[in-house]
Amino acid sequence: MPASPTILSLIIMATVPAAKAEAPARNQVQAVKIGTASPLSGPGAHQGKDIENGARMAIDDLNAKGIVIGGKKVKWVLQPEDDASDPKTGAAVAQKLVDAHVAGVVGHLNSGTTVPASKIYHDAGIPQISPATTTPQYTNQRFNTAFRVVASDQLVGKTLANYSVTTLKAKKIAVIDDRTAFGQGLADEFNRSVRAGKAAKIVSRQFTNDKA
């Protein structure tokens, strides 16, 4: 995950309230924590580590700029946490980051961990930027602290359905998902789009689990 301008801008926005909370004191350095929450263990660890590394690159870029907010030079400090792709662990990690008084969070990876964690961040007034969550439920909650940088399942499912029917010329389609919030949600949107187009038929809908 590259250190994109979007994430850089949102991290800066997240730190402004924290930096302005104290009276200006020029030439002082204020440390501002940014949390990351992603799977750093288990099958999704390689993706989770990418999120941590991307946030670290963004923070290194910001620290190199020597940005001053409210009269103080800001030093961003990263606090990475492992949610293990588990909703309960994700909620615990979210509370840990709230208790650590982070100014913003980059994460989570999985839809199943992002949604329950988003309520905790919202209640604490902490901006959350998910680099990977696709479930529409995440932003349908209308939390003003929740931001996504990838398309939702509604758009992805529609695009995949259109490709399957118009490019692959599929007429009969079987759909299998892993019953995770991401897998089932995307499959549901794909099915809905295929049925709406009426050019192909879903002949089988099956599921397994994310460990199979």
Q: Is the pLDDT of residue 23 over 80?
A: no
Q: Is the dihedral of CA 204, 208, 210, 212 positive or negative?
A: negative
pLDDT for 2 equals 42
CATH of the domain at 37: 3.40.50.2300
Distance CA 129, CA 108 (A): 8
Cα 126-32-15 angle, rounded to 5 deg: 50
- Are 107 and 172 found together in one domain? no
For 191, the domain range is: 153-207
Per-residue model confidence (pLDDT) at position 176 = 96
Return mean pLDDT, the chain: 89
Do 142 and 164 share a domain, yes or no? no
Enter the pTM of the model: 0.79
* Alpha-carbon Rg for the chain in angstroms: 20
212 within domain boundaries: no
| Residue 192 forms part of a structural domain | yes
Rounded distance between C-alpha atoms, residue 34 and residue 55, angstroms: 9
Does the pLDDT value for residue 71 go beyond 50? Answer: yes
